[in-house]
Amino acid sequence: MTKIFIDADGCPVRDETFKVAERYKLEVILVANKPLMIPPDPRHRMQVVSGGFDAADDWIVENIHAHDIVVTADILLADRCVRKQVRVIGTKGEEFTEDNVGSAVANRELMQNLRHMGEMRGGPPPMDKKARSRFLGTLDQIIQSLKRQGALS
């Protein structure tokens, strides 16, 4: 059965994910280093991890299976999940695949180097309505694709 895992620390699309999951009756697992509020639904649960910087990422990678979906803004986590044949969607609606995750990792490294050299300042632009809409559309497309493959009941 398909599950949605959310790399929840600072995730701006948790509410949107829960709404879509409820429509399709999917289980959602929030993974974070502290407890967060989740809707009162027996299909949803909170997984609190402790430990190092990548503890949530490590827990997600260890617990995902084929036909699961991971929601994350962390490109390195996306890369690890794609290697396990899991569908991965970024918080702004981009799906990470075998074809594009390598260039996303390379771009991340380039931007990090530019910031360290002082060539760039700041981070990504804030979430806007267009990005939220793109996220909802992409998540729905992924779920519909898994449904066509027979991964959903």
- Average pLDDT over the chain reads 88
Residue-wise pLDDT tens digits, 114-123: 566 776 666 6
Residue 105: what pLDDT?
Answer: 58
DSSP labels, the chain: --EEEEE-TT-TTHHHHHHHHHHHT-EEEEEESS-----S-TTEEEEE--SSTTHHHHHHHHH--TT-EEE-S-HHHHHHHHHTT-EEE-TTSPEE-TTTHHHHHHHHHHHHHHHHTTS--S-SPPP-HHHHHHHHHHHHHHHHHHHHTT---
User: In this predicted model, what pLDDT tens digit does every residue of 53-90 receive, in sequence order?
Assistant: 789 999 999 999 999 999 998 889 999 999 998 999 99
- What pLDDT is recorded for position 112? 62
Is the pLDDT higher at 34 or at 100? 34
Asked if the model's pLDDT at residue 104 lies above 80, the reply is no
pTM of the model: 0.85
The hierarchical CATH code for the domain 3-148 is 3.40.50
- What are the residue boundaries of the structural domains of the chain, listed by start? 3-148
Residue 124 has pLDDT above 70, yes or no: no
